[in-house]
Amino acid sequence: MLIREEIEQREADTLSPFALAAKNSTGRVLYEEPDPIRTCFMVDRDRIIHSKSFRRLKHKTQVFIAPPGDHYRTRLTHTLEVNQIARTIGAGLNLNLDLIEAIALAHDVGHTPFAHAGEQVLNRLLSTGFRHNENSIRVLTRVEQHKGRKGLNLSREVLDGVLNHSGYSRDDSGAATLEGQVIRLSDKIAYVQHDIDDSIRAGLLTIKEIPAVYLEVLGDTHSKRIATLVSDTIYETRKLMAEGKAVRVAPGAAVEQALIGLRGFMFKAIYTGPVCQAERTRAAFVLEHLFSYYRRHPEKMSQVYREIADQEGLERAVTDYISGMSDAYCISLFRDLYIPQSLVPGAQKNNTADGQ
C-alpha cells in the first residue's frame, strides 16, 4: 500500500463524517496521477506555498499602507493567523486540516497592493469589475504557472473555499465544505481582532472607544476575544453535529452578534475612517497612473501578461499585472515613471554644490 493510501485510510477511519476526506475529493480540472505520498490537498498546499503570489503577500498591505515599525500585520501575517485559527477550529471539529490549510494559505493571493483601496480602484477601472476573492481564483487557475501549464490545477474543493471565503452573512450558504466554512469565519475572526490591535498600536483607537457591549461578550483583550470566538464556534458546531442537523460553522447567537457588531464598529471607526480614506486617495492616484501607463505601454509588462493581453485583452492583462504587485513595487514603479530624476551621468552619486 502506498503511503498516500495509508493517510487516506487514516482519514476515513478517524475524521468526522461531516469532514471531506481527500479520497472523496471531486478532483482537478486536469487529471493528474496521484502523488505516492501526499494526498491531493497536501499537494495543493505545497503548490500554494511555493507560488510567487504567496511570497508576494509579505509585502502587501493588510489595513495601513507602509506603516512605521515591524509589528503591523501584512497580508502574509494575516494569512498565517487565519490558518492558525482555522486549524484550531478544524481540529476541534475533527475536519480535514490539510484542506483547511490549503484554502487558508490561498484565500488572499488575489489581493491587490494597498489592500481594499487597490481593490476599489481596480473594480472601477476594470469594465467587468474586480473582487479579490474572484481574483484569487484567477491567480490560481490562470496567472500562476505550474509545469509549463496555466494555473496550479488545484482541487475543486480548495478553489471553492477560496472563492467563498469573502463576505459575512447568516443567509449566505458560503463554501460547499465545512472546511471552507471554517476559513470564511476564521478570516473574520482574524482580521477584526488583529486590526483592532494594529489600530491601537497606531494610536487611532483605544480600548475604551470600543463599545462595551461587544467586549463584555467577547473579552477585553486580543487573546480573550479570539479564544471566545474559537471555543464557542467549536462547541456550537459540535452541538449541531451531535443532533445530526444541517451544519453551519458558526458561534452561538450572542457571540456571533458581538462579532458582527464589532466588525461594523471597525468599518465605521477605522476602515472608512479619515486615516484610511486619506491613504486610499493616495493609493488610488498611484494605481490609476500605473494602469494608464501600462495600457499605453503593454510592451513594458513581463511576457506572461503580454500573452494574456493577446488572448484576453489589454485591460484584463494590465489588471492582472497590477493586482499582483506588492505595495513597495507599485511605489517604486510610480517613482521611476513619474518622479523627475536627473539623467546626467553621475548625478545621483555627486549631489554636492558646484565648486565645493
pLDDT at 354 over 50: no
Confidence band for 293, pLDDT divided at 50, 70 and 90 = very high
Question: Which tens digits make up the pLDDT trace of 183-242?
Answer: 999 999 999 999 999 999 999 999 999 999 999 999 999 999 999 999 999 999 999 999
Average pLDDT (65-92) is: 91
Look at residue 346 in the predicted model and tell me its pLDDT: 66
pLDDT at 301 over 60: yes
- Cell numbers 492583462 correspond to what residue? 317
How high does pLDDT run on average in the chain?
92
Contact 214, 196 (CB under 8 A): no
The architecture (CATH level 2) of 3-112+134-270 comes to Orthogonal Bundle (1.10)
The domain spans of the chain are: 3-112+134-270
Contact 112, 195 (CB under 8 A): no
Confidence band for 353, pLDDT divided at 50, 70 and 90 = very low
Contact 179, 99 (CB under 8 A): yes
Compute how many other C-beta atoms are within 10 angstroms of the C-beta atom of residue 273: 15
Contact 258, 214 (CB under 8 A): yes
145-146 and 149-150 strand pairing:
antiparallel
Closest of 18, 284, 67 to residue 195, by C-alpha:
67
Rounded CA-CA distance 264/266 in Å is: 5
Higher pLDDT, 8 or 283: 8
DSSP annotation of 270: I
Look at residue 352 in the predicted model and tell me its pLDDT: 45
Average pLDDT (64-81) is: 86
